[in-house]
């Protein structure tokens, strides 16, 4: 059997790690890197994340069986529009964005013809506060949850291909509708990220206090707020794209926070949080 | 040189790890465990955290050169009062509480006689959401910051002994006044802990949604909120004892959160948080 041809557009941390994961099985997948920056593409190739690369979008996707849009959330729809005319009819297109509903809405219009190419929204829940293929590892997606958000119009075969693709990268595939996905992400990812940023900003008491902050925040504080070092441009785009859900989640959180701050005895809610957290443990 | 006799009252995670750390140098320290629960004391001895143990407070501290009160913050002052009559004049007493001002105030009264025994407030900034000596490790305090909070009346020799003691356990010793310590802890430890609890409570959308929560919160969310599993009784006591500072820190945080949630473009504050966080890195 000939390997399936995968084109990864955007060979940063997410795209690079995907290439590395797939290329553990070179007889199953052939991986091409596509991007604007030739130097970054060469770096990805040296790292073994792609086998060939091009800065020519049309040429990069022309022969691809599977195209993965591994670019920031606000670049996904414009990119999809640009590649659409150059895709094979049988191609499967997926993104890796952490917001789904607005992206799925746009891309369903772009890929509306029932004959294909087909689009399936994907959100592999893995990442790092680091960026760039130099930090990518072949096991980034190993045992990570990858949410797929097919719509009613998604052909079963396309969904099955998407599922088997992400399983190949090591992920545990879960199906969720895009709107539900975004509501959950606001609570378990986007709000926590925003809180980490606020926490760092609140702990800063000016330049003269930074020496003390550095000493006292060396342990758990630094670990808990590590995501604050993630790319501000990418996260601003994520927050913006999931703004409504983020506001709802924040309101819910603020209500609980106000209650807990004002409480005299916090033992019962703390015990409840502990029990809930223990439910999140590995099984 | 004869080893100095250390009595650790409370052989849970913190006390147990301290015993393990000191007993890497058996010729320098002799460690006795003191507590209410004979079974727990025997467990500590089997783990090598103490060399002898007793449930008799008076007998346990009588010969001790150094007494460490490794009990929850609300038990420290009552315990100090009970042991006071049984201590040697030359004894040095320390606690390990994560709140300092109220404890230091109480214990300065209890140990006010200038001849000794002397008290030095200590907060070794290490811990775990786990409890019990079975989770204690000899390197818990290795490279951790230990804050000492001497007052104007603390003899220099007592402070020096305290410093050398915690260095012996592997910690980096920092001196801070108790009030400043508590203000900082509200920002970098107590508030973050409370936020983790609130985050878990906010993410809970009822029993029927728990399966989805468990899937989607498997990664970074679970890690970021791990402290929610810490002992609710102990943390309720910490929050209560640092309530005023916690409320100030929470108000400061909530103001920043409201602003960031309401903002259209969040790129500048996110970039600032990222730069601040990078200052917290190891050197």
> Residue A282: what pLDDT?
61
Provide mean pLDDT across the span B221-247: 95
Candidates B38, B31, B40, B233; CA nearest to B135 is: B40
Candidates A174, A175, A176, A194; CA nearest to A249 is: A194
Which residues of A fall within a CB distance of 8 Å from B184?
Answer: 212-213, 216
Kindly report the number of other CB atoms within 10 A of residue B263's CB atom.
16
How much is the mean pLDDT over chain A?
Answer: 95
Residues β-bridged to residue B108: none
- The radius of gyration computed from the CA coordinates of chain B, to the nearest angstrom, equals 21
> What tens digit of pLDDT does each residue of A144-165 get?
999 999 998 899 999 999 999 9
Which residues of A fall within a CB distance of 8 Å from B204?
Answer: 276
Q: How far is CA A10 from the centre of its chain?
A: 13
In the predicted structure, residue A26 carries a pLDDT above the cut 70: yes
- Reported ipTM exceeds the 0.85 cut: yes
Nearest chain B residue to A246 by CA distance is B261
Question: Would you put residue B170 in left (φ > 0), alpha (ψ -120 to 50) or beta?
Answer: left
Q: In degrees rounded to 5, what are phi and psi of residue B104?
A: -60, -40
Q: How confident is the model at residue A128 (pLDDT cuts 50, 70, 90)?
A: confident
**% residues pLDDT > 70 (chain A):** 99
Q: Is B59 helix (H, G, I), strand (E, B) or coil?
A: helix
Helices (H), B217-266: 220-224, 232-241, 243-262
Give ∠ CA B100-A216-A232 in degrees, rounded to 5: 135
Q: Which of A280, A281, A282, A283 to mutate to test the interface with B (most CBs of B within 10 A)?
A: A280
Give the CB-side neighbour count of residue A121, counting CA atoms within 13 A: 29
> What tens digit of pLDDT does each residue of B16-47 get?
999 999 999 999 999 999 999 999 999 999 99
Nearest chain B residue to A187 by CA distance is B203
> Residue B282: what pLDDT?
61
Distance from CA of A211 to the nearest CA of B (A): 9
In the predicted structure, residue B113 carries a pLDDT above the cut 90: no
Distance from CA of A265 to the nearest CA of B (A): 7
Which residue in the set A247, A265, A277 is minimally distant from B261, CB to CB? A247
> What tens digit of pLDDT does each residue of B120-174 get?
999 999 988 888 999 999 999 999 999 999 998 899 999 999 999 999 999 999 9
Which residue in the set B202, B205, B227 is minimally distant from A253, CB to CB? B202
Omega prior to A117 cis, within 30 of 0: yes
> Residue A130: what pLDDT?
86
Q: Answer whether B201 sits within 8 Å of A269, measured CB to CB.
A: yes
Write out chain A in H/E/C secondary structure. CCCEEEEEECCCHHHHHHHHHHCCCCCCEEEEEECCCHHHHHHHHHCCCCCEEECCHHHHHHCCCEEEECCCHHHHHHHHHHHHHHCCCCCEEEECCCCCHHHHHHHHHHCCCCCCCEEEEEEECCCCCCCCHHHCCCCCCCCCEEEEECCCCCCHHHHHHHHHHHHHCCCEEEECCHHHHHHHHHHHHHHHHHHHHHHHHHHCCCHHHHHHHHHHCCCHHHHHCHHHHCCHHHHHHHHHHCHHHHHHHHHHHHHHHHHHHHCCCCHHHHHHHHHHHHHCCCC
> What tens digit of pLDDT does each residue of A59-74 get?
999 999 999 999 999 9
Q: Answer whether A200 sits within 8 Å of B277, measured CB to CB.
A: yes
Q: How far is CA B276 from the centre of its chain?
A: 25
Q: Answer whether B194 sits within 8 Å of A257, measured CB to CB.
A: yes
Q: Answer whether B236 sits within 8 Å of A266, measured CB to CB.
A: yes
> Residue A223: what pLDDT?
86
> Residue B283: what pLDDT?
44
Distance from CA of B96 to the nearest CA of A (A): 15
Q: Answer whether A224 sits within 8 Å of B273, measured CB to CB.
A: no
- Which of the residue ranges B215-224, B240-249, B250-259 would you say has the lowest mean pLDDT? B215-224
> Residue A283: what pLDDT?
44
**% residues pLDDT > 70 (chain B):** 99
Q: Does this model's pTM top 0.90?
A: yes
Is residue B124 within 8 A of residue B169, CB to CB? The reply is: yes
Q: Is B183 helix (H, G, I), strand (E, B) or coil?
A: helix
Query: Of all helices (H) and strands (E), which one includes residue B53?
Result: strand B52-54
The pair of structure tokens assigned to A205 is: 């008491």
Distance from CA of A36 to the nearest CA of B (A): 23
Q: Answer whether B256 sits within 8 Å of A198, measured CB to CB.
A: yes
Provide mean pLDDT across the span B177-198: 97
> Residue B114: what pLDDT?
85
Q: Answer whether A195 sits within 8 Å of B191, measured CB to CB.
A: no
Q: How confident is the model at residue A184 (pLDDT cuts 50, 70, 90)?
A: very high
User: Look-up: residue for tokens 């591994």?
Assistant: A70
Q: Which of B277, B281, B283 to mutate to test the interface with A (most CBs of A within 10 A)?
A: B277
In the predicted structure, residue A47 carries a pLDDT above the cut 50: yes
How much is the mean pLDDT over chain B?
Answer: 95
How many beta-carbon pairs under 8 angstroms link A with B?
Answer: 236
Domains and CATH numbers, chain A: 4-176 (3.40.50.720), 180-279 (1.10.3660.10)
Which residues of B fall within a CB distance of 8 Å from A225?
Answer: 192, 273, 277, 280
């Amino acid at each position: 059997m000939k390997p399936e041809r995968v084109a990864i557009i955007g060979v940063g941390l997410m795209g690079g790690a995907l290439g590395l994961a797939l290329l553990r099985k070179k007889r199953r997948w052939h991986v091409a890197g596509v991007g604007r920056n030739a130097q970054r593409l060469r770096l990805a190739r040296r790292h073994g994340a792609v086998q060939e690369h091009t800065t020519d979008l049309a040429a990069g996707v022309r022969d691809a069986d599977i195209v993965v849009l591994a670019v920031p959330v606000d670049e996904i729809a414009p990119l999809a529009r640009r590649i659409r005319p150059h895709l094979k009819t049988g191609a499967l297109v997926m993104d890796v964005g952490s917001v789904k509903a607005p992206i799925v809405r746009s891309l369903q219009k772009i890929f509306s013809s029932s004959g294909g190419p087909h689009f399936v929204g994907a959100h592999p829940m893995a990442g790092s506060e680091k960026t760039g293929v130099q930090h990518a590892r072949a096991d980034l997606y190993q045992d990570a949850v990858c949410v797929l958000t097919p719509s009613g119009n998604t052909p079963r075969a396309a969904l099955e291909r998407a599922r088997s693709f992400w399983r190949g990268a090591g992920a545990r595939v879960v199906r969720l509708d895009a709107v539900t996905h975004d509501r959950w992400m606001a609570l378990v990812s986007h709000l926590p990220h925003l809180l980490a940023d606020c926490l760092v900003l609140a702990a800063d008491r000016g330049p003269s206090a930074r020496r003390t902050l550095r000493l006292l925040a060396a342990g758990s504080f630094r670990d808990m707020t590590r995501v604050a070092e993630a790319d501000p441009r990418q996260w601003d785009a994520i927050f913006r794209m999931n703004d409504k859900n983020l506001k709802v989640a924040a309101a819910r959180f603020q209500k609980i926070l106000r209650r807990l701050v004002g409480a005299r005895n916090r033992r019962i809610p703390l015990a409840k949080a502990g029990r809930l957290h223990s439910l999140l443990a590995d099984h």
